């Protein structure tokens, strides 16, 4: 019995020390990180080495950049199709036994404009399909630096048109389109919405914009505070910007950076997500405000204590709850 008590005390002591250590990691000069984000940040360390590696990789090597991320596509039927002569590829995720005439999410992945479709993209596509209980068309658009602006944007717009013309074959409703994306993908999603609006299209009913980069963030307060030591590092952001927009004249091109659109009127409703400890946070805040000023029904939710796009394995519940909330908002907007 005495040995058992000693072992129990040792286990409790180790546990309390671990909890105390993780708790201490949450304290930052700029505020309190969520514990899961703080632990993840401690485990991954400095991303600058990974960015240096990224710059040396071929496109095909970058496709495997996040292979360590686990994926789970249970309950989904998945089709892969090349839809253009340029080999633009889409992945169609459809929940089993989904009724016909389902809304359709067209999803544009993140990755600083330089990562192609990866395991992280699969996790977002499956989460959207499961949370929204709907068809998701994931777009493997061409990426920089091999394919700078406007090629990624044109690919995304072509994928929208293909979806409208063809998704009925999978039981999707081409007149109930939701555009979604995270980080660079959120930027592409809303530029597609702006382009479609200018061409008089009415198929898009909602935008889900997760941590968008609405304009070049280098002068913002959040960039200056969080550009180092908060997962999304300055070296990665600069590499992404310079690769996507090699011509600085395009930094304020509204087809590349949506904040500079001359009008946001008549865009579909939007759910804009920002994260408190994200260097891109202020661009998302400003874009949400600009949407509201244009009288676009907009929900802006800032995720307290979170890093860019809520990375890592310790906050899966937060991500799932967030996307379930967005799905409820989208469903409510359809009834309005």
Annotated catalytic residue within 109, 131, 155, 308:
308
Of the candidates 131, 183, 222, 243, the residue annotated as catalytic is 183
Q: Which residue among 155, 210, 278, 282 is the active-site one?
A: 278
Q: DSSP states of 54-72 as a string?
A: HHH--HHHHTTTTTTS---
The torsion of the CA quartet 65, 67, 71, 76, rounded to 10 degrees, works out to: 70
CB-based burial of residue 333 (10 Å sphere; 0-12 exposed, 13-18 middle, 19+ buried)?
Answer: middle
Nearest to 215 by CA among 280, 289, 295: 280
Distance CA 195, CA 159 (A): 13
Active site residue 77: no
Q: Assess whether 183 carries a catalytic annotation.
A: yes
Whether residue 278 lies in the annotated active site: yes
298-303 and 102-108 as β-strands: parallel, antiparallel, unpaired? Answer: unpaired
Closest CA to 80 of 188, 175, 170, 148: 170
DSSP string, 278-330: -TTHHHHHHHHHHHHHTT--EEEEEETT--TT--SGGGHHHHHHHHHHHHHHH
Tell me the C-alpha distance between 206 and 182, whole Å.
15
Q: Which residues are catalytic?
A: 183, 278, 308
């Amino acid at each position: 019995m005495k040995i058992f008590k000693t072992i129990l005390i040792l286990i409790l002591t180790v546990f309390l020390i671990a909890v105390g250590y993780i708790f201490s990691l949450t304290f930052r000069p700029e505020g309190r990180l969520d514990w899961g984000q703080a632990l993840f940040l401690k485990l991954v360390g400095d991303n600058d080495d990974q960015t240096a590696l990224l710059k040396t990789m071929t496109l095909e090597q970058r496709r495997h950049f996040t292979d360590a991320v686990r994926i789970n596509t249970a309950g989904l039927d998945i089709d892969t199709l090349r839809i253009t002569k340029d080999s633009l590829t889409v992945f169609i995720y459809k929940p089993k036994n989904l009724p016909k005439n389902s809304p359709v999410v067209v999803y544009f992945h993140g990755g600083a404009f330089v990562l192609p479709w990866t395991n992280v993209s699969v996790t977002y596509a499956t989460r959207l399909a499961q949370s929204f209980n709907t068809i998701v068309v994931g777009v493997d658009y061409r990426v920089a630096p091999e394919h700078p602006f406007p090629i990624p944007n044109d690919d995304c717009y072509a994928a929208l048109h293909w979806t409208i013309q063809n998704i009925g074959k999978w039981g999707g409703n081409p007149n109930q389109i939701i555009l979604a994306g995270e980080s660079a993908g959120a930027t592409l999603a809303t530029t597609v919405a702006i382009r479609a609006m200018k061409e008089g299209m009415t198929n898009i009913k909602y935008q889900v914009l997760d941590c968008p980069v609405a304009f070049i963030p280098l002068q913002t307060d959040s960039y200056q505070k969080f550009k180092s030591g908060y997962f999304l590092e300055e070296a990665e952001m600069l590499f992404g910007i310079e690769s996507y927009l090699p011509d600085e004249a395009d930094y304020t091109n509204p087809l590349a950076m949506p904040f500079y659109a001359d009008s946001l009127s008549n865009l579909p409703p939007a759910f804009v997500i920002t994260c408190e400890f994200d260097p891109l946070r202020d661009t998302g805040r400003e874009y949400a405000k600009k949407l509201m000023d244009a009288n676009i029904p907009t929900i802006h939710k800032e995720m307290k204590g979170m890093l860019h796009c809520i990375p890592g394995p310790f906050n899966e519940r937060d991500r799932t709850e967030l996307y379930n909330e967005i799905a409820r908002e989208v469903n409510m907007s359809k009834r309005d």
